């Protein structure tokens, strides 16, 4: 089994590594690459993986689980409240409209049992969160009005799954046959009792998360071990998913719940950053699984029915979406995109159909047919979007250009200032800004500090600021000012480098430990650096001068000049350093540089710049004049 897993991993990864770049080269989305990779290695083409890809699907469903966890994390109640009109309005219109039309159409034409028809209609109504969100992200459409609407509808669908799955047992008349398949602990109970337990579990997870998980994460975070936190995040997702599975619900829903529970906690961004890479990889695997699971032999039995049904249900969904877009006054190009993007069936369809089969709501054969149809439609979406982009969209002018501005109020956490590092240095900055009524988003690694500062009313997030995901989540796209104030100068440099690379628009004010640290910042194009010791050292020096009998104002002016001169010297010397082609400053060179600075100080004759309030010159001139008079 070990070697089997090993070999399979090689096949999946190889297929992905080969197919995805090809798809990208052809201008298609990576999802299509994954899907075709799946078809290719699946049982019906090369046959490299067996049992119609079921085993992968089982494993890769975790990609969807994690995606739902991440969606949950996005859904903090406040943000959800602001989006409510779109989520509830568009979402309910889509779910109800599509379900009713599909239900009536199927009932009239196909004459299945009404319970089965309703289940199928519900299953097909739900679009694929995985495909849509991944595609939008790839095409950079997430922040357009269409992208937000799609997200709203998907969110509603994701939530709608909960009542749908809760209702299905009620549709079933009780005589569940396939007890072997249904492993749920409560499946022997009555329908209404199951529903009650399901709802109870959800409530339990919600409250447990609030009062148990967050404190536990604090303990883990206090160890300061990055990998342990990642482990804890994975454990959390797995655990909740397992509990949900025990009561017979999809693990994805469990993860979603866990996400919502943690959306308001200070660990949100860190969890996002930790889970995202797993999600990406597993989601790829999921798409491969979808490709591999398409049962071509089943399709071949009745290809006409499958293709016609698939096309028709896509068209119905598409038209309903277009109608909703019209109601919400979308421009035609946005509306078309909206319609095409959400027209497929989704992974929840599999879940619902699977559950329905367990409940004996419909024949297994019909369910398999429907699953094949959903998988086909999922493959179809990237192709449809590609066609829309290339041949349909150009006919409808006006592209949405000012993306991001329209619904800015949906975004939370859009402070102009981001402070990385909230130690003594950063917190002083934060307090000064706060005193002046400027809110700042704060990123810090110390969870204890994060907690206590949050209690004091600061918006502090726990996380490693050198991670791109966290920087993005903190709103670097829209911020104006980034203050790099992390205690560890190496980490600080890495963060500054990330910012320069990924958010070149962002103005950076950087803390520097010492001169050589400042040189490195200058090399990155940062001219506003603040050596942490310079200013207090100069202040102390000024006081020393005062102690020795200098007048305070004169000493203070000397201090001002010294700082100005020293700042210029760093800029000058950083250039010189490159002339020498010295990549590393050795201790010896550091001493040389100090000597050079001292000499330069003498050359500049610090303080001889102006002669304000001095009267020597005047006296001399008076003397000359009076001497002249005498002659």
Residues near other proteins, by CB under 8 A: 557, 560-561, 564, 609-613, 617-618, 621, 624
Nearer Cβ to other proteins (390/611): 611
Query: Residue 391 or residue 613: which is nearer to other proteins going by CB?
Result: 613
Q: First CA to last CA across the chain, in angstroms?
A: 116
Q: Which of residues 405 and 615 has its CB atom nearest to other proteins in the complex?
A: 615
Task: List the one residue out of 222, 223, 380 whose CA is nearest residue 306.
Answer: 380
Contact (CB, 8 A) for 384 and 340: yes
Q: What CA–CA distance (Å, rounded) separates 183 from 201? A: 17
Question: At closest approach, how far in Å is the CB of 227 from other proteins?
Answer: 47
Nearer to other proteins, 211 or 613 (CB): 613
Angstrom distance (rounded) from CA 234 to CA 63: 12
**Spatial distance between the Cα atoms of 150 and 143, rounded to a whole number of angstroms:** 10
CB 160 within 8 A of CB 126: yes
Q: How far is the CB of 509 from other proteins (least distance, A)?
A: 17
CB 615 → other proteins: shortest distance, Å?
8
What would the two tokens of residue 524 be? Answer: 């990155």
Q: How far is the CB of 74 from other proteins (least distance, A)?
A: 39
Element (H, E) at 243: helix 226-246
| C-alpha to C-alpha distance for 601 and 458, rounded to whole angstroms | 43
Residues 110 and 117 sit within 8 Å (Cβ to Cβ): yes
Strand-by-strand arrangement of the 507-512 sheet: 460-462, 440-444, 417-420, 481-484, 507-512, 529-531
* 343: CB partners within 8 A, 6+ apart: 127, 314, 315, 317, 318, 321, 377, 381, 384
The shares of helix, strand and coil residues in the chain, as percent rounded to the nearest 5, are 70, 5, 25
- Tokens 């020293």, residue located: 566
For 144, phi and psi rounded to 5 degrees? -80, 170
Comparison of 175 and 616: residue with beta carbon closer to other proteins: 616
Residue nearer to other proteins on the CB measure, 14 or 618: 618
Minimal distance, residue 624 CB to other proteins, in Å: 8
Q: Hey, which residues does 420 pair with through a beta bridge? A: 443, 484
CB of 557 to other proteins, least distance (A): 7
d(CA 426, CA 428): 5
Closest CB 530 distance from other proteins, rounded Å: 16
Q: Which is nearer to other proteins, 54 or 543 (CB)?
A: 543
Q: How far is CA 145 from CA 148, 157, 470, in A?
A: 5, 18, 24
| 230, two tokens | 């990642």
Give me the least distance between CB of 612 and other proteins, in Å please: 4
Give CA–CA dist 274/268, Å, rounded.
Answer: 10
CB of 480 to other proteins, least distance (A): 19
The helix (run of H) or strand (run of E) holding residue 444 is strand 440-444
CB closer to other proteins out of 40 and 606: 606
CA distance 488 to 308: 63
Q: Based on CB atoms, which residue is closest to other proteins, 311 or 556?
A: 556
Tokens of 591: 């001493």
Q: Are 484 and 474 in contact (CB under 8 A)?
A: no
Closer residue to other proteins (CB): 503 or 530: 530
Residue holding tokens 């009780």?
A: 174
Judged by beta carbon, residue 148 or residue 531, the one nearer other proteins is 531
Q: What angle do CA 164, 119, 179 make, to 5 degrees?
A: 85
Angstrom distance (rounded) from CA 90 to CA 335: 13
Q: How far is the CB of 144 from other proteins (least distance, A)?
A: 37
Q: What is the closest distance, in whole angstroms, from the C-beta atom of residue 541 to other proteins in the complex? A: 16
Q: Tokens 């047919």: give the residue.
A: 369
Q: Based on CB atoms, which residue is closest to other proteins, 412 or 624?
A: 624
Helix intervals (H) in 459-531 = 468-473, 489-502, 515-523
Minimum distance of other proteins from residue 425's CB (angstroms): 21
> For residue 370, how many C-alpha atoms fall within 13 Å in the half-sphere facing its CB?
30
Angle between helix 129-139 and 30-41 (nearest 10): 130
What is the closest distance, in whole angstroms, from the C-beta atom of residue 610 to other proteins in the complex? 4
Q: Which is nearer to other proteins, 88 or 546 (CB)?
A: 546
Query: Computed over its alpha carbons, how large is the radius of gyration of the chain?
Result: 32
| Shortest Å, Cβ 517 to other proteins | 25
* φ, ψ dihedrals at 283, nearest 5°: -65, -40
Q: Between 223 and 528, whose beta carbon lies closer to other proteins?
A: 528
The Cα–Cα gap between 281 and 218 comes to 27
Q: How far is the CB of 618 from other proteins (least distance, A)?
A: 5
* Closer of 207 and 553 to other proteins (Cβ): 553
The minimum distance between CB 609 and other proteins, in angstroms, equals 6
Q: Which is nearer to other proteins, 424 or 609 (CB)?
A: 609
């Amino acid at each position: 089994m070990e070697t089997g897993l090993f070999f399979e991993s090689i096949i999946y990864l190889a297929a992905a590594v080969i197919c995805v770049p090809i798809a990208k080269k052809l201008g298609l989305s990576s999802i299509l690459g994954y899907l075709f990779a799946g078809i290719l290695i699946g049982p019906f083409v090369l046959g490299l993986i067996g049992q119609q890809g079921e085993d992968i699907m089982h494993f890769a469903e975790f990609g969807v689980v994690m995606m739902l966890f991440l969606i949950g994390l996005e859904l903090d109640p406040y943000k959800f409240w602001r989006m409510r009109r779109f989520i509830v309005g568009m979402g309910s219109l889509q779910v109800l409209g599509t379900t009713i039309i599909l239900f009536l159409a199927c009932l009239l034409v196909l004459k299945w049992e009404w319970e089965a028809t309703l289940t199928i209609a519900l299953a097909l109504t739900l679009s694929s969160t995985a495909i849509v969100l991944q595609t939008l992200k790839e095409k950079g459409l997430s922040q357009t009005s269409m992208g937000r609407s799609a997200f709203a509808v998907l969110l509603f669908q994701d939530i709608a799954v909960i009542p749908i799955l809760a209702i299905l047992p009620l549709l079933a008349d009780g005589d569940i046959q396939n007890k072997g398949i249904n492993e749920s602990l409560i499946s022997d109970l009555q329908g209404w009792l199951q529903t009650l337990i399901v709802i109870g579990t959800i409530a339990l997870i919600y409250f447990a998360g609030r009062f148990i998980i967050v404190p536990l994460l604090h303990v883990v975070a206090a160890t300061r071990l990055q990998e342990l936190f990642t482990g804890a995040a994975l454990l959390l997702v797995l655990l909740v998913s397992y509990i949900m599975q025990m009561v017979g619900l999809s693990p994805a829903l469990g993860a979603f719940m866990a996400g919502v529970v943690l959306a308001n906690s200070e660990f949100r961004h860190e969890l996002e950053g930790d889970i995202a890479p797993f999600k990406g990889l597993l989601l790829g695997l999921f798409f491969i699984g979808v490709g591999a699971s398409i049962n071509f032999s089943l399709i071949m039995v009745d290809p006409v029915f499958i293709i016609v049904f698939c096309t028709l249900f896509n068209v119905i969904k598409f038209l309903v979406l277009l109608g909703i877009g019209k109601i919400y006054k979308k421009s035609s190009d946005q509306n078309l995109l909206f319609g095409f993007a959400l027209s497929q069936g989704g992974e929840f369809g599999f879940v619902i159909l699977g559950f329905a089969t367990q409940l004996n709501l419909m024949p297994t054969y019909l369910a398999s047919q429907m699953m094949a149809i959903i998988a086909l439609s999922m493959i179809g979406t990237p192709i449809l979007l590609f066609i829309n982009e290339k041949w349909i969209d150009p006919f409808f002018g006006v592209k949405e250009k000012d993306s991001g501005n329209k619904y800015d109020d949906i975004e939370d956490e859009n402070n102009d200032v981001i402070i990385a590092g909230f130690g003594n240095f950063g917190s002083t900055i934060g307090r000064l800004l706060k005193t002046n009524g400027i809110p700042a988003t704060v990123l810090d690694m110390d969870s204890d500090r994060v907690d206590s500062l949050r209690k004091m009313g600061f918006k502090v997030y726990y996380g490693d600021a050198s991670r791109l995901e966290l920087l993005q989540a903190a709103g670097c796209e829209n911020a104006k000012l980034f203050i790099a104030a992390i205690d560890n100068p190496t980490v600080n440099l890495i963060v500054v480098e990330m910012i320069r690379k990924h958010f070149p628009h962002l103005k950076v004010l950087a803390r520097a430990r010492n001169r050589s640290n400042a040189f490195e910042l200058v090399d990155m194009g940062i001219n506003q650096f603040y050596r942490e010791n310079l200013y207090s050292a100069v202040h102390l020096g000024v006081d020393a001068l005062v102690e020795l009998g200098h007048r305070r104002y004169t000493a203070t002016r000397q201090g001002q000049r010294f700082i100005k001169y020293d700042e210029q010297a760093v800029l000058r010397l950083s250039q010189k350093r490159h002339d020498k082609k010295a990549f590393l400053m050795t201790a010896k060179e550091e001493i040389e540089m100090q000597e050079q600075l001292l000499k330069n100080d003498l050359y500049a004759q610090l303080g001889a710049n102006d002669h304000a309030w001095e009267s020597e010159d005047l006296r001399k001139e008076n003397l000359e004049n009076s001497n002249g008079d005498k002659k």
